[in-house]
Amino acid sequence: MKRTKIKALLNETTFGKEVTVMGWVKTFRNNQFIAINDGSSIQNIQAVVDFNHFEEALLKRLTTGAAIAVTGDLVESLGKGQSIEIKVKSLEILGDSDAEKFPLQPKKHSLEFLREIAHLRFRTNTFNAVFKVRHALAFAVHQFFNERGFTYLHTPIITASDAEGAGEMFKVTTLDFDNTPRNDDGTINFKEDFFGKATNLTVSGQLEGELAALALGDIYTFGPTFRAENSNTTRHLAEFWMIEPEMAFYDLENNMDLAEDLLKYVIRYALDQCAVELDFLKSRLEEEEKQKPQNERSELDLLSKLKFCLENDFERITYTEAIDILKQSKPNQKKQFKYLIESWGADLQSEHERYLVEKHFKKPVILTDYPKEIKAFYMRQNEDGKTVRAMDILFPGIGEIVGGSQREERLEKIEQRMAEMHIPAEEMSWYLDTRRFGSAPHAGFGLGFERLVLFVTGMTNIRDVIPFPRTPKNAEF
């Protein structure tokens, strides 16, 4: 089989040569004009058939969704909307598509409807664009780290450590539920299980990442993570992809610089490589926003928002400063927040994060030095005894996109914090060994890949930026 991809043809300027294109019929108009898409671009190519030269029975099979191969000469198009078209000499149906039953008609479908037919939604322009951008971002992530000499580390997906995600983990077992082996006290005897102990799907590769960073220097992971949190929001998935760099000899400042550089680098890459897709997604968002009341629409269009992000330094403030701003904010004074900010120590909800980013600073914000009570045991403790060297990056429309910290490298300090938080140090001795043998300052963060794709594509629901979303009560396809 030999074919030319449509994307390559659309840039062609020499006419007259014979080409073969294979793709799916988008529309067939006036018994003459076939719009063909092969996925290489969201743009179609027009193929023109002279209906006098083809069997009517064959032309009838040119229905939306059918897969076809056409061979013909590339000619200059006289019609509006394209500069090039194919004058068809031969036409073959590769796979019929029953027009009565094919769910994607050449009209606008709601994203909700498309989610129900996620196996077919790749055929739409919107999802073509989204997944092209997703690919570009993934590629850019690897390129960014590769250029900086980081090692791509594959951390395990099945893990026996549950220090981080108590209650949020999916269990991995081969035990027979109808006949579970029990201990004398009635609890399940995991010694009989596949691994001889209780295991889960990972919520983060960080702890293993630290082990490698304290030998290889700079590492990053990029893999699936799983959270059994029952949060049915537009920003949470039960299965999502996370990028987790971990660097030896880094403090929080270095960590913030790297995260900001990474975000700007991958956004710039997408702007450079996905101009057609982002332009389409910009218009899509504009259409969607027309449904909203004026005051809820965004001030910037998608492309301006992305460029704005590149051109401005992220605002860096401490949690304590953020609390002061929030306390004095209008929605807090007027009791418009669902969770009012009353005192220092409160965990920030997404409404607060979005207020800081979208209303107050109007740009990405990095919040640092959170109260230790609301952060994990491994974050480096500050001299004040109250806060830790944490950083969260907040993005407009998204809220938290990155969570990270400088890690606690002092053995006594981390052991003391683990004891306070009832984390069994014996089970974590492999992790603590890094602090026993040549401990060093180090830092890292986790970037939620789908939240990044959400931001760059301007989609509004995280279910629409991963091919097959897993959410509570939903694991279709």
How far apart are the C-alpha atoms of 429 and 440, rounded to whole Å?
17
Q: Which two tokens stand for residue 165?
A: 């995600």
Cα–Cα distance list, 33 to 21, 48, 50, 85, 400 (Å): 15, 5, 9, 10, 47
Comparison of 26 and 375: residue with beta carbon closer to ligand ATP: 375
CB of 353 to ligand ATP, least distance (A): 9
Of the residues 403, 444, 458, 469, which one makes contact with ligand ATP according to CB under 6 A: 403
Residue linked to tokens 């109007």: 362
Of the residues 237, 285, 322, 323, which one makes contact with ligand ATP according to CB under 6 A: 237
463 binding ligand ATP? (CB under 6 A): no
134 binding ligand ATP? (CB under 6 A): no
How far apart are the C-alpha atoms of 396 and 387, rounded to whole Å?
26
Comparison of 145 and 240: residue with beta carbon closer to ligand ATP: 240
> Which residue has its beta carbon closest to ligand ATP?
448
450 binding ligand ATP? (CB under 6 A): yes
CB of 183 to ligand ATP, least distance (A): 32
CB of 35 to ligand ATP, least distance (A): 36
Only segment of 45-53, 117-125, 212-220, 396-404 that touches ligand ATP (CB under 6 A):
396-404
Comparison of 401 and 456: residue with beta carbon closer to ligand ATP: 401
Comparison of 47 and 348: residue with beta carbon closer to ligand ATP: 348
Q: How many residues bind ligand ATP (CB under 6 A)?
A: 14
245 binding ligand ATP? (CB under 6 A): no
CB of 261 to ligand ATP, least distance (A): 17
CB of 71 to ligand ATP, least distance (A): 46
Comparison of 72 and 399: residue with beta carbon closer to ligand ATP: 399
Binders in 136-195 for ligand ATP, by CB under 6 A: none
Of the residues 451, 453, 454, 469, which one makes contact with ligand ATP according to CB under 6 A: 451
Binders in 43-82 for ligand ATP, by CB under 6 A: none
Nearest to 391 by CA among 445, 463, 457: 445
CB of 371 to ligand ATP, least distance (A): 14
Residue linked to tokens 């990029």: 222
Binders in 207-236 for ligand ATP, by CB under 6 A: 227, 229, 236
CB of 426 to ligand ATP, least distance (A): 25
CB of 429 to ligand ATP, least distance (A): 24
How far apart are the C-alpha atoms of 426 and 424, rounded to whole Å?
6
CB of 449 to ligand ATP, least distance (A): 8
Of the residues 62, 104, 163, 242, which one makes contact with ligand ATP according to CB under 6 A: 242
Comparison of 72 and 448: residue with beta carbon closer to ligand ATP: 448
How far apart are the C-alpha atoms of 473 and 477, rounded to whole Å?
13
CB of 456 to ligand ATP, least distance (A): 13
CB of 236 to ligand ATP, least distance (A): 4
CB 82 within 8 A of CB 47: no
Comparison of 24 and 241: residue with beta carbon closer to ligand ATP: 241
CB of 167 to ligand ATP, least distance (A): 12
Of the residues 240, 280, 314, 370, which one makes contact with ligand ATP according to CB under 6 A: 240
Only segment of 175-183, 302-310, 413-421, 442-450 that touches ligand ATP (CB under 6 A):
442-450
352 binding ligand ATP? (CB under 6 A): no
402 binding ligand ATP? (CB under 6 A): yes
Nearest to 357 by CA among 297, 301, 401, 292: 401
How far apart are the C-alpha atoms of 279 and 301, rounded to whole Å?
10
Nearest to 369 by CA among 356, 379, 355: 379
Residues that bind ligand ATP (CB under 6 A): 227, 229, 236-237, 240, 242, 400-403, 446, 448, 450-451
